[in-house]
Amino acid sequence: MSLLNGTTLAYIGDAVYEVIVREALIKKGYQKVDNLHKEAIKYTSAVGQNKAIELLREFLTEKEESMFKRGRNAQSDRKAKNASVSEYRQATGFEALIGYLYLDKQTERLSELMDKIIK
């Protein structure tokens, strides 16, 4: 996993994070798709992911911080729709971290960090 670039890690991390959030919301009792979607956006938008990484930064290991920075600093042609450039880059870093943990099969650590975000 250490050889993958930041945008590749972010690509898989985005999908993994989306599934984790959706599952958590369903477990919380959300059933109507419209309500699920509205609530999920609070977590999965670039703004929401930026908030998530800010919550986690103090808990990250050196390796995790490195993976976050790899994603945050990656060159991308993609632009943020409803977020600042800074928020979008932070969100990409967050997704890269999630992708790294997932691909490295660090499921316990991934769950631990997700529990801090989704209460």
Catalytic residues: 14
Contacts of 1 (CB under 8 A, 6+ apart): 9, 100, 103, 104
| Distance between CA atoms of residues 44 and 64, nearest Å | 20
Contacts of 109 (CB under 8 A, 6+ apart): 101
